[in-house]
Amino acid sequence: METRSHMFFECHESYRVWMECFNWLGVSTVMHNNCAMHLEQFSGLSFCNSQKKDCWISIWLTIIWTVWLARNEVVFSSTQISAMEMVDLVIIRTWNWLKTRHKNFRYDFASWSMNPAACLI
């Protein structure tokens, strides 16, 4: 039986997605494999106001959502999605979600994809 920790954090592809996303965000960290602890750790990465912390949590949720959808593609459609394709989807989805959720998030996609940390300060 597949566990949450395996599916979201320990599976080779999921782990690669997280590591590539951390790299994209300019973050160096050790990952928890417990969902609640991982979210707590991730949301603690930002040292900013509550709105910016909400943005970091949105990124975390987007990564989880992207891994979940990719897992469903494998299980139900026998379609493989690479870790790098998932990272690209995370970048696009977080930008779309943050633009929709936060009216003062006015960064263009190029700025977001190249330097997300600067957009979250």
Give the tokens for residue 2.
Answer: 């597949």
Q: Hunting for tokens 């965000």 — which residue is that?
A: 25
For residue range 78-117, list pLDDT tens digits in order.
999 999 999 999 999 999 999 999 888 899 999 999 999 8
Domain boundaries, the chain: 9-119
Give the tokens for residue 50.
Answer: 């509550």
For residue range 7-36, list pLDDT tens digits in order.
898 899 999 999 999 999 988 888 878 888
Give the pTM: 0.89
Percent helix, strand and coil across the chain, each rounded to 5? 70, 0, 30
